[in-house]
Structure 1
Amino acid sequence: MHQGGDETQRALGAATIAVVFWGIGPLMVRGIDASAATIVFWRFALAQPVMIGASYYFGKGLSLRLIRRALLPGALFAVSMLAAFTSFQKTSIVNASLIQAMQPALLLVVAPFVFKKRTTLRQFAFGGVALLGVATLVLGGGSTEGSALSGDLWAAFNLVLWTVYFVLVQRIRQDGEDATSILAAVFFVSFVVATPITLGMAGSVGEIVNIGWKGYLLEVLMVLGPGLVGHGMMMWSQRHLDIRVASLMGLGSPVLSTLGAWMIYSQSLGFLQLIGGVIVLIGLTGIMLEHRGNRARPAVSPTLPAAEPDLSEAQGRLIS
């Protein structure tokens, strides 16, 4: 029981690290003077040596078997990223952010059927508090001017894609696949799927290549930070966390993005946004405490899958 509690603690810590780096990601995107297609292309292209190298250093490496398992998640991940960028271009940031924030609510409904896990009243309550905080944060930051039905539909499409991806990855992790190897496979498939699409959207090779030294630097930082550390830590934690907890913790990213935009880009930060950020943190704290308490209670241990490399030590190496 003590070991399970320690594992839950490490998983919550890993998910928290992921949330921090995912919150930094939009700030890096903001600093790149390029089209969405160009940003997505380089994110996947530059990620290949990093993710594959990490899979051999931290895990078991890339294999054809893993690539086959990652075909659907990888394709969903690629199209989801393109849909997210398109939604931000075609509708208001407010609408796109609010629609994407509905993922945890969707998982609260889906999880009992997919993973046979009952959603408790406390989980609904804390999840509702966190969602309320995100809504307050986003709506407090600006109007919905510039919204359009087509953009809202792209955001809803992204919501479905990302939710299905999240569920598929959770199931793969529960089968015992190591995090960095499956992450490398997902990014490899995503690159294969996204490359022809992004090249077609860009219109010319020149547009893809000419992003300047600052653009390349930020792309590399995105690969190392939100990509390797963010997705790596979240994927590792998904074997040890309830999928609803992992998803709800992701609501902390908009809070960090908002604070970062205020500090780095001098974007306005209103009173309602501050209140929303506090509400999100209260909800997430409740979710973490509730999950920790549930894992601490005695339970009959199920048959565990084959052991995988413990990434608790790798966390320190990834962010050092």
Structure 2
Amino acid sequence: MRGAGQPAAASDSGTAVPSGAVFHVAPAIDRAGGVEAPLNGVAAVARRAPAEGSAAGGATGATSVRTAGGALPLLVMGLVVVSWGLGPPISKLLTAPAMVSAFIRFGMSTPFLLLVLALRGRWLSRRVFWQTALPGLSFGINMVFVFAAVQEVTISVMSVMMALQPAMLLALVGPIFGDRVSVRQIVFTLIGVGGAVGVIMGAGGEFRASGFGLFLTAMSVLTFTVYFVLTRMARASTDVDPIEWMAGINFWSFVAAVPPTVLMVTPSQFFEFGGLDWLWIVIVAFVTGVFGHVLMTWCHGHIEVARSSLYVLAMHIVAVGTAWLIHGEPVTPMQFLGGAVVLFSVAMVIRTPTGSRAAPARSEQVAEPESPVAARSRN
């Protein structure tokens, strides 16, 4: 990331685009810039925000971000919702123990992302390697807590608690990110959470939970929130290549998965993984994991966290629809109603004007040097 006052790179040559513009570009993977929108200067808007803040005398915090409106961020967010929504019903097809599946998932995705970086002539930098340590360990530990929690609570109970995450993030966006959250956003976020709970509980089935199981579930929500927040902070304050970032995340997640796998999994359980499990784990690792999380990392630089966390609730609708197609699970009227409430809440928040405290635009006018005559007369 270039500092204030340094010359712009070739990909940053575009002029600043108003926040309400529609960007007719697509994310691209190139050798120099990663997954960005380099065709018309949109990426430059997000990249220049931290530098402009320092050029303006430090008026904004390190985590200020210039969020971009338009169709592209919403389109990418829609792809994230679909890919993440496919995760639960596809994971249900796995016959091997969950801890074995999680270990193999990170064991496949980590070398793949490092290989992609190498093919682009890049490598995991020392800065990103250490920046991803805490969020990566949090993401990996999240998988451990999920594995332990499903032994104590039903999936429905865990899903309901996960659906409460957007409400939790509303309390953090102001102090951490400087995003201004309107009353409209708060109201429709809470309504959306209620709709998501309706989608989950509408499936019926058994609701079982122990006190220890609820603790484990709460820790899984907390660790995923830490990963979510730290990734957003990195995208807001530094010029992060989403692929490089997720390579670091997956490396540290794999590190976090090793100790519990060694302690909790017997060698014979690894032999239970086979057949179609390899197909399902490829989809989970590369569609839900690599594809979905790389795009979500990109979205963190373009959408306020209070909005993106609400949009993610729509993944429950995708999960229910996919479970109906794959597993034949019926869709109840309560789920239809809950899904409609979620979509309505998302639509209302999309229509809400952005409230992020964007970094002030740096003046493009360069002061002319003072003439020697004028300087002498002033002295």
- Relative to the length of structure 2, the TM-score reads 0.74
Distance 1:116 1:300, change over 3 A: closer
2:146 aligned with 1:84, yes or no?
Answer: yes
Determine which of 239, 244, 255 is the counterpart of 2:301: 239
Cα deviation, residue 199, structure 1: 2.9
Partner Cα distance (2:120, 2:300) in 1: 17
CA shift digits 1:119-167 (9 cap, x unpaired): 1011112212211111111121125532222221111111111111111
> Contact 2:100 / 2:265 at 8 angstroms: preserved in 1?
yes
1:1-320 aligned at under 5 Å gives the runs: 2=17, 4=19, 5=21, 6=23, 7-8=68-69, 9-56=71-118, 60-174=122-236, 175-204=238-267, 206-290=268-352, 293-294=353-354, 301-302=360-361
> Contact 2:94 / 2:280 at 8 angstroms: preserved in 1?
yes
Cα deviation, residue 77, structure 1: 0.4
SS in 2 for 1:22: helix
Partner Cα distance (2:91, 2:184) in 1: 36
Distance 1:57 1:242, change over 3 A: farther
Q: Which amino acid aligns with 1:240?
A: H
Q: Which of the pair has more CA radius of gyration?
A: 2
Cα deviation, residue 51, structure 1: 1.6
Size of the aligned set, in residue pairs, is 299
CA shift digits 1:1-43 (9 cap, x unpaired): 6454335332222121111000001111111101111110011
Cα deviation, residue 53, structure 1: 2.6
> Contact 1:130 / 1:280 at 8 angstroms: preserved in 2?
yes
Bigger fraction of residues in helix: 1
Distance 1:58 1:261, change over 3 A: farther
> Contact 1:40 / 1:198 at 8 angstroms: preserved in 2?
no
Cα deviation, residue 213, structure 1: 2.3
Partner Cα distance (1:195, 1:147) in 2: 27
SS in 1 for 2:275: helix
CA shift digits 1:89-131 (9 cap, x unpaired): 3102222111111110011011111112221011112212211
Partner Cα distance (2:212, 2:359) in 1: 49
Q: Which amino acid aligns with 2:354?
A: N
Aligned-residue Cα RMSD (Å) equals 2.1
> Contact 1:60 / 1:178 at 8 angstroms: preserved in 2?
no
Partner Cα distance (1:300, 1:71) in 2: 28
> Contact 1:92 / 1:148 at 8 angstroms: preserved in 2?
no
Partner Cα distance (1:57, 1:247) in 2: 33
Cα deviation, residue 294, structure 1: 2.5
Cα deviation, residue 63, structure 1: 2.1
Q: Which amino acid aligns with 1:23?
A: G
> Contact 2:179 / 2:357 at 8 angstroms: preserved in 1?
no
Matched-pair identity in %? 27
Of structures 1 and 2, the one scoring higher in RCO (CA 8 A, sep 6+) is 1
Partner Cα distance (2:121, 2:209) in 1: 44
CA shift digits 1:175-205 (9 cap, x unpaired): 111111011001011111212212322122x
CA shift digits 1:232-291 (9 cap, x unpaired): 11011101110111111110111111111111101122110111111111111222222x
Cα deviation, residue 230, structure 1: 0.5
In the other structure, the counterpart of 2:31 is none
Partner Cα distance (2:103, 2:271) in 1: 10
> Contact 2:73 / 2:299 at 8 angstroms: preserved in 1?
yes
- Relative to the length of structure 1, the TM-score reads 0.87
> Contact 2:195 / 2:339 at 8 angstroms: preserved in 1?
yes
Q: Which amino acid aligns with 1:192?
A: V
Partner Cα distance (1:286, 1:58) in 2: 40
Partner Cα distance (1:57, 1:179) in 2: 15
Q: Which amino acid aligns with 1:26?
A: P
Q: Which blocks of at least 5 consecutive residues in structure 2 are unaligned?
A: 1-15, 24-67, 363-379
Q: Which amino acid aligns with 2:252?
A: V
> Contact 1:37 / 1:199 at 8 angstroms: preserved in 2?
no
Partner Cα distance (1:300, 1:69) in 2: 23
